[in-house]
Amino acid sequence: MNAAAAPNTRAGRMAARLAATEDRLSGLVLPAGAGWLARAREAALARVKSMGLPGKRDEYWRFTDPADLMSDAPKPAEVFQITDEPAMFMGVDRLKIVFIDGVFSAKDSDPLDEEGLEVIRLSDVAATDIHWAQELYGTLEAEAQTPVQRPLAALNTARAADGVLIRVTGQVSRPVSLVYQRQRDDAELILHHVIRVESGAQLTLLENGPGAARCSIVTEIDLADDAHLHHVRAMGRDHQRRALTHVFARLGARARFKSFTLAMNGALVRNEAMVWLNGANGVAHLAGAALGDGVFHHDDTVFVTHAAPGCESRQVFKKVLHHGAVGVFQGKILVEQPAQLTDGYQLSQSLLMDDACQFLAKPELEIYADDVKCSHGSTSGEIDADHLFYLRARGVPEDVAKQLLILAFLAEALDEIEDHHLAEDMRLRLKRWLNRHAD
Amino acid sequence: MLEINNLHVKLEDEDKAILKGLSLDIQAGSVHAIMGPNGSGKSTLSYVLAGRGGYQVTDGTARLEGEDLLEMEPEERAAAGLFLAFQYPVEIPGVGNMTFLRTAMNAQRKARGEAELSSGDFLKLVRSKAKDLKIDADMLKRPVNVGFSGGEKKRNEILQMAMLEPRMCILDETDSGLDVDAMKLVAEGVNALRSEGRAFLVITHYQRLLDHIKPDVVHIMADGRIIKTGGPELALEVENNGYADILAEVPA
Ligand SMILES: Nc1ncnc2c1ncn2[C@@H]1O[C@H](COP(=O)(O)OP(=O)(O)O)[C@@H](O)[C@H]1O
Ligand SMILES: [Mg+2]
């Protein structure tokens, strides 16, 4: 066989895909820059070209069509104004880093000098020849290309012109808060962040806001031994918005990573997370609560690798779907041979509020160590009629009873938010959302 | 208080009649007991009165102080003063017992146009009532009925009843699964609530609960109907001879 292989063979399809990718990306101009960052971008572009852009027939995209995530221009999405509640994280003392329509805004952000932190804008680092992030930018993303290819993450590495590089070296007194505001209906946001938490240091990272009509955010996280990162993300509520995010996190010994994502609304959201537990006794908890009504397709794709002994991982993803909304969960726990005494847990559940909703799930365990404790479960169903009747028989009106039961359903995911006030704030917003979507 | 007339009920999605012309008239201040073999329709009666789905009333009426119960939503029936202590109370993970109780109380008060209870007053009340029933603080904090023993679930039902102060209380086999001490606690809880303005319908298999909660009237139910009505002595008769004799008296 040669390059002109028949289009219906595997090799033929791959050749066609690579040609199409080459064609699609031929006019792509990478962000200006020199030095290591430019080289990392070029290498990433080469990765994309060697893998080809994904298609909806790919196993990895079987439940979510990537077309709208990679079309030339984003479909416009109306800016959703929320008037009846304060902005997310409003009351939290935090270091604010604001992006508007995908571009860093110095005047809306706090000064980037903070005790215990080094923060620099990605576009400012381009001129620096030596930088701590040099070893990380694109590195974890490249590593994440096996065993499953994620070309759109590599494309982000190549294209992202903005983002922040955060290094935590000591005691930090307040969270770092990345805020993605938007003004234009058709803006596209492509950001790439790198976060390195040094040994023994801790950080809380907040993210919120819709960002743009279409978002691609890659966050590469490197936690040294004994480092902690607590990540709380509230995605914006614009109904027509599309977003693809990747979190790549590598943990050293005894490191702790906790990540929670709240997603309400959004035409298409795919949140990917890949975590490597590379040092003994590390802890990684990934959780999400997603609520959608109508045009809503929300996909959590999670891959946790236990490469070292004695680590704990939890995945808790809950979805509440109304009026034809679609929820997707693809989750895997891979326990490599050295990872004895692994404690792995994975739970994905959807509450289907009517018959038109769909939950598509692919939970997986792959275990090569013999002394491990791993469990997983995936369910979807309606609100339990007996529960509902019990509450109503005590006088609780149907809508209030449903709300109580929905919040109860989400509780295990919300419990992964360490900060009590943040968790309470999320609950209040969930209640308001449920009130607005009560029927 | 509760007036049931010629009630016919079938399963909603099956052609199976369960209640076949049941009538009852329960006066305020009185305690009625219903006894009957398994499967005679006792729980179905309690569910239909409380408004559970899955059943279809094909004939007859049920009125609570003159109001048509069958037209009301379950929560409206509760607010109107009807309470069912379930035979099998459900476990509801994620919903705290206290949150549940408080939500229920305030919802009923709101429906009746009364002011909500402050959290201080609520706490005081629930603590004192829980103490009477030997329900400890830990049980109150847990999710509704989750991890409760059979007896704890039943006591939790009585706690809810004591808090909500309904006018018409239906107890569906509240004694089943209770040991003697727990049964005494439950009976004390019920007796404490007995009053002129309140009535009870106690569904049970056994005479022994009726030793503690003295009924005014005892009904025997079989195959979806009341087949015999009498005084407390009727319960004793069942206790001694079983249902066979009574069933034999009734023409099929
Ligand atoms: N939801 C239901 N589905 C099917 N059968 C039912 C249902 N509810 C009640 N039944 C049937 O109706 C009859 C009466 O049941 P029930 O009311 O529980 O009786 P009891 O409480 O007197 O033991 C039984 O034959 C029972 O199997
Ligand atoms: Mg029964």
pLDDT in tens, A116-143: 999 999 988 867 777 899 999 999 999 9
Q: How high is the mean pLDDT of chain A? A: 93
DSSP assigned state of B215:
-
Sheet strands side by side (includes A228-235): A103-104, A95-100, A176-181, A202-209, A228-235, A256-264, A283-293, A312-322, A343-352, A373-381
Per the CATH hierarchy, to which homologous superfamily does domain B2-249 belong? P-loop containing nucleotide triphosphate hydrolases (3.40.50.300)
Tens-level pLDDT at each residue, chain B (252 residues): 999 999 999 999 999 999 999 999 999 999 999 998 889 999 999 999 999 999 999 999 999 999 999 999 999 999 999 999 999 999 999 999 999 999 999 999 998 898 988 889 999 999 988 888 788 888 888 999 998 888 889 889 999 999 999 999 999 998 887 888 888 888 888 898 889 999 999 998 878 888 888 899 999 999 999 998 989 888 888 878 878 777 777 665
Structure tokens at A343: 């404690």
pLDDT tens digits, residue range A370-404? 999 999 999 999 999 999 999 999 999 999 999 99
Handedness of CA B77, B79, B85, B91 (dihedral sign): positive
Closest Cα to atom 13, ligand 1: which residue?
B39
- Contact predicate B91/B144, CB 8 Å: yes
- Contact between chains at B103 and A404 (C-beta distance less than 8 A): yes
Task: Decide if pLDDT at A268 tops 70.
Answer: yes
Backbone phi and psi for residue A130, each to the nearest 5 degrees, phi listed first: -115, 130
Q: How confident is the model at residue A1 (pLDDT cuts 50, 70, 90)?
A: very low
Alpha carbon distance B12, B56 (integer Å): 5
- Contact predicate B102/B147, CB 8 Å: no
Return the bridge partners of A359, or none: A327
pLDDT tens digits, residue range A15-58? 999 999 999 999 899 998 878 999 999 999 999 999 999 998 89
pLDDT tens digits, residue range A286-336? 999 999 999 999 999 999 999 999 999 999 999 999 999 999 999 999 999
Q: What is the pTM of this model?
A: 0.91
Helix (H) or strand (E) holding A196: strand A188-197
Q: What is the per-residue pLDDT for A211?
A: 82
- Contact predicate A214/A186, CB 8 Å: no
* Domain spans in chain A, listed from the N-terminal domain onward: 34-383
Surface-to-core class of residue A319, CB atoms within 10 Å of its CB (0-12 exposed, 13-18 middle, 19+ buried): buried
Sheet strands side by side (includes B2-11): B17-26, B2-11, B55-64, B67-68
Residue of B nearest to A396 (CA): B104
* Domain spans in chain B, listed from the N-terminal domain onward: 2-249
pLDDT tens digits, residue range B195-251? 999 999 999 887 888 888 889 999 999 999 999 898 988 888 887 887 877 777 766
* Lining residues, ligand 1, CB within 6 Å: B 11, 18, 36, 38-44, 54
- Contact between chains at A389 and B52 (C-beta distance less than 8 A): yes
Ligand 1 center to B46 CA (angstroms): 11
Residue of A nearest to B166 (CA): A394
- Contact predicate B9/B17, CB 8 Å: yes
Q: Which ligand is nearest to the CA of B87?
A: 2
Contacts of A405 in chain B (CB under 8 A): 92, 94-95
Task: Decide if pLDDT at A365 tops 60.
Answer: yes
The DSSP annotation for A356-400 comes to T-EEEEEEEEEE--SS-EEEEEEEEE---HHHHHHHHHTT--HHH
- Contact between chains at A396 and B90 (C-beta distance less than 8 A): no
List C-alpha distances in Å: A161 to A187, B21, B169: 14, 78, 69
